[in-house]
Amino acid sequence: MIVTFLGTSSGKTSLNRFHSSILLSVKNYNLLIDAGDGISRALIHNQVEFNSVGGILITHLHPDHFTGLPLLIVQMRMTNRVEPLDIYIHENLVDVAKVFLLNTYLLPERIRFEIRYKTFEDNKQVQVADNLNFLARQNTHLQKLERYKSKYPRLNFNSSSFLFTSSGKNIIYTSDIGSSEDLLLFDSVKPDLLISEVTHISANELLDKAASLSPVMTLLTHYSEEQISPLSEILANHSGSPKGSIKLAADGESFEI
């Protein structure tokens, strides 16, 4: 499996980096994780053809993770896509995604290729391709918004973290989280790679908690420009893990696991 960081920035827009997005590639299938604002440009910048993306996994509906989806579909249409596009989204959010796309005038009759919504539930294994599966669990990233549920009863505040498996390798991806406890949602698994956001949790707290998972490698993503210097200093002085096993992910970075 090849992991490519298309963007590593936080929700704060940067001139130098793209919003957080990852491409997981296995034989004959590319899974795009999140499609926030600017995702079409991020794909071009990383020389990834629009129509090489087989599926898109949405972690939650914040704009830096979701609102680039309509324009990406338009790019696929304009480049004569014919293959179906899989959109993996939590069962509580699929209706929102469908209405959102319709309200941007992406009518199924005019798209020319099939959009297949593949909903997932918590704690149920999903097979994406012959050699790629994932398991989703809810984290607490949006828990603070639950107090608005009575005022906006139609809203669902789902935010997922994921365990990806391929050829016996395990990748834990936190997506955006609400506390350090969310790092332990898959604590029964020893990850070959832990990918964690580092905007909504302090780096020191993350490193202390992640140590219990004993990942082979930890990559930090979803960080702002202002965080680069202090994060680099923290990692340079961190002595709890083998040197080089924890680092900041960079836009365009790609490696095989």
* Among the listed residues 14, 78, 3, the one whose alpha carbon sits nearest the alpha carbon of residue 40: 78
In percent, the amount of the chain with pLDDT more than 90 equals 93
Q: Which helix (H) or strand (E) holds 90?
A: strand 85-90
Residue 204 pLDDT exceeds 80: yes
In the chain, what is the straight-line distance between the N-terminal and C-terminal CA atoms, in Å?
6
Classify burial at 143, counting beta carbons within 10 Å of its beta carbon; exposed 0-12, middle 13-18, buried 19 or more. Answer: middle
Rg from Cα positions in the chain: 18
Sheet with strand 29-33: strands edge to edge? 115-120, 85-90, 55-57, 29-33, 21-26, 2-7, 254-256
* CA–CA distance, 198 with 134 (Å, rounded to integer): 22
Instruction: List the single range of 15-24, 30-39, 133-142, 230-239 with lowest mean pLDDT.
Output: 230-239
Instruction: List the single range of 23-32, 98-107, 127-136, 238-247 with lowest mean pLDDT.
Output: 238-247
pLDDT tens digits along 129-173: 999 999 999 999 999 999 999 999 999 999 999 999 999 999 999
Contacts 24+ apart (CB under 8 A), 23-26: 23/48, 23/53, 24/132, 24/164, 24/166, 24/171, 25/1, 26/1, 26/2, 26/129, 26/130, 26/131, 26/132, 26/166
- Quickly tell me which residue has 């965080």 as its tokens: 227
Residue 99 pLDDT exceeds 80: yes
Q: Are 240 and 213 in contact (CB under 8 A)?
A: no
Is the whole-model pTM more than 0.75? Answer: yes
Residue 210 is predicted with a pLDDT of 85
* Tokens matching residue 15: 């001139």
Query: What is the mean predicted confidence (pLDDT) over 30-39?
Result: 98
pLDDT tens digits along 169-190: 999 999 999 999 999 999 999 9
Residue 243 is predicted with a pLDDT of 67
In this prediction, residue 118 has a pLDDT band, given cuts at 50, 70 and 90, of very high
Residue 140, Cβ neighbours under 10 Å: how many? 17
Counting the structural domains of the chain, the total is 1
* Among the listed residues 242, 232, 177, 234, the one whose alpha carbon sits nearest the alpha carbon of residue 211: 242
Kindly compute the dihedral angle of the four CA atoms of residues 3, 245, 178, 197, in this order, to the nearest 10 degrees: -40
* Average pLDDT of every residue of the chain: 96
Residue 244 pLDDT exceeds 90: no
> What range defines the domain where residue 27 resides?
2-256
Query: What is the mean predicted confidence (pLDDT) over 13-20?
Result: 96
Chain center to CA of 45: 18
Residue 242 pLDDT exceeds 80: no
CATH number at residue 159: 3.60.15.10
